[in-house]
Structure 1
Amino acid sequence: MTAVLPSLVLTLLCLLRAGAEVPVQLDFDTKKFAGMWHIMAAVSNCPVFLSMKDKMTSSATAISFTPEGHMAMETVLPLPEECKKIMMLFQHGGQAGHYIGTEKGEKRDLRVMDTDYEHYAIVYTQQKDSQEPSTMLQLYTRNQDMSPQLLQKFKKLFHSVGLTEDMLVVLPHSGECQKGGGIRVLSVWGCSSGTQHLQCGPCSSLFSL
């Protein structure tokens, strides 16, 4: 996979310069991608994300797919007061690996850019709302482990979409919710009244504070 990444970065750079869409993983396989992932790092130009990233910790996300090809995500967030589960549904975007979420007039464009299914995935999200759009890349791993080589892969890809290292956060582990007890389930998209979390703010994220 290490030989594939440089060509992926070059391809992405050429596509972006030409004004084309961000590519997705070739021959994306939903069955292989489904299951538990840990969000270990993220980078974004969202102002809210940048102001809060130093307080974030990692979270676990279970991904599944509906018979229609839509992506369902259940993320357990270890917040200071309690563990909360956010359930989200992204509609199939017309291509395997490309999904679209819409809530309260805001559109989220999600693309699985690169994955080997067994160890890591790099997920691109663009939030489009009435304000200026924001871009985020997230690094998923199957285990709560991230090698220096994997982090370097992540950096190459986020540099290619114009994001910089000062926008990066490597998320520390948080084991408060690993046992699954005492979890309160929020509504779809998780935006209930009084919830102070980036998922419910102007920029999408799947991290706890």
Structure 2
Amino acid sequence: MQATLLSILGLALLGALHAQDSIPIQADFQQDKLTGRWYSIGLASNSNWFKEKRHLMKMCTTIISTTADGNLEVTSTYPKGDQCVTRNSLYTKTEQPGKFSYTSTRWGSKHDIRVVETNYEEYALVATQISKSTGPSTMVLLYSRTKELSPERLERFTQFSREQGLTDDEILILPQTDKCMTDAA
């Protein structure tokens, strides 16, 4: 019985590792071109917090800058009720350009972050595999340099999210807002 359970757990772990390895990373990733202001246009996730908060979510701004040691500082400002909330995250670079790690001590989670594709001037598609004690989850973000993107880019985000196993009710094009959009770049 115990051996069967261990082999099932082993297969599940191998499956999870294979799933992470199947997520592509932008070829010839150029980190300096990713810096600057972005708007979060789309968000897809199978996490419980997303399911609970999805109806409250709006577009937000994200400023990406490079730290002295080559990591990414990611500062997102979003509307929450009648105020603007800013969240800072430090994405630690890995040996593979375009792949980062982040640990949230607040939520007890580890994040494997991959810049899947970008043209740096218009959009960026980012996939995150999240591991925490309550189980794994997947998140896909669509960033844009402007508050609007072409239907083709929106469809690519939806298609990629589905490829990651997310369902249509786990995929959200964030409603536009002017609230909290005037932070300094």
Which range is displaced more, 55-64 or 94-103? Answer: 94-103
Partner of 1:139: helix, strand, or coil? Answer: strand
Amino acid aligned to 1:103 = S
Q: How far is 1:19 from its partner?
A: 4.9
1:19 to 1:147, Cα distance in 2 relative to 1, 3 A: closer
Amino acid aligned to 2:117 = D
Matched, 1:119 2:122: yes
For residues 115 and 17 of structure 2, the distance between their equivalents in structure 1, rounded to whole angstroms, comes to: 20
Match of 1:47 in 2: 48
Match of 1:197 in 2: none
Amino acid aligned to 1:59 = C
| Structure 1, unaligned runs of 5 or more | 1-15, 182-209
Matched, 1:164 2:167: yes
For residues 54 and 64 of structure 1, the distance between their equivalents in structure 2, rounded to whole angstroms, comes to: 30
Partner of 1:26: helix, strand, or coil? Answer: coil
Partner of 2:157: helix, strand, or coil? Answer: helix
The higher radius of gyration belongs to 2
Match of 1:69 in 2: 70
1:127 to 1:18, Cα distance in 2 relative to 1, 3 A: closer
1:141-152 aligned at under 5 Å gives the runs: 141-152=144-155
1:54·1:169 contact (CA, 8 Å) conserved in 2? Answer: no
For residues 20 and 57 of structure 1, the distance between their equivalents in structure 2, rounded to whole angstroms, comes to: 28
Match of 2:57 in 1: 56
1:1-209 aligned at under 5 Å gives the runs: 19=19, 21=21, 22-104=23-105, 105-180=108-183
For residues 70 and 129 of structure 1, the distance between their equivalents in structure 2, rounded to whole angstroms, comes to: 23
Amino acid aligned to 1:97 = G
| Structure 2, unaligned runs of 5 or more | 1-15
TM-score if structure 1 supplies the norm length? 0.74
CA RMSD of aligned residues (A): 2.1
For residues 110 and 89 of structure 1, the distance between their equivalents in structure 2, rounded to whole angstroms, comes to: 11
Q: How many positions carry a matched residue from both structures?
A: 167
Query: Greater share of helix residues, 1 or 2?
Result: 2
For residues 38 and 64 of structure 1, the distance between their equivalents in structure 2, rounded to whole angstroms, comes to: 14
TM-score if structure 2 supplies the norm length? 0.83
Q: How far is 1:179 from its partner?
A: 3.2
Q: How far is 1:76 from its partner?
A: 1.1
Amino acid aligned to 1:84 = V
2:101·2:113 contact (CA, 8 Å) conserved in 1? Answer: yes
For residues 104 and 148 of structure 2, the distance between their equivalents in structure 1, rounded to whole angstroms, comes to: 32
Q: How far is 1:17 from its partner?
A: 10
Partner of 2:41: helix, strand, or coil? Answer: strand
Which runs of structure 1 show a deviation greater than 3 angstroms over 4 or more consecutive aligned residues? 16-20
For residues 133 and 41 of structure 2, the distance between their equivalents in structure 1, rounded to whole angstroms, comes to: 29
Partner of 1:24: helix, strand, or coil? Answer: coil
Partner of 1:64: helix, strand, or coil? Answer: strand
Partner of 2:49: helix, strand, or coil? Answer: helix
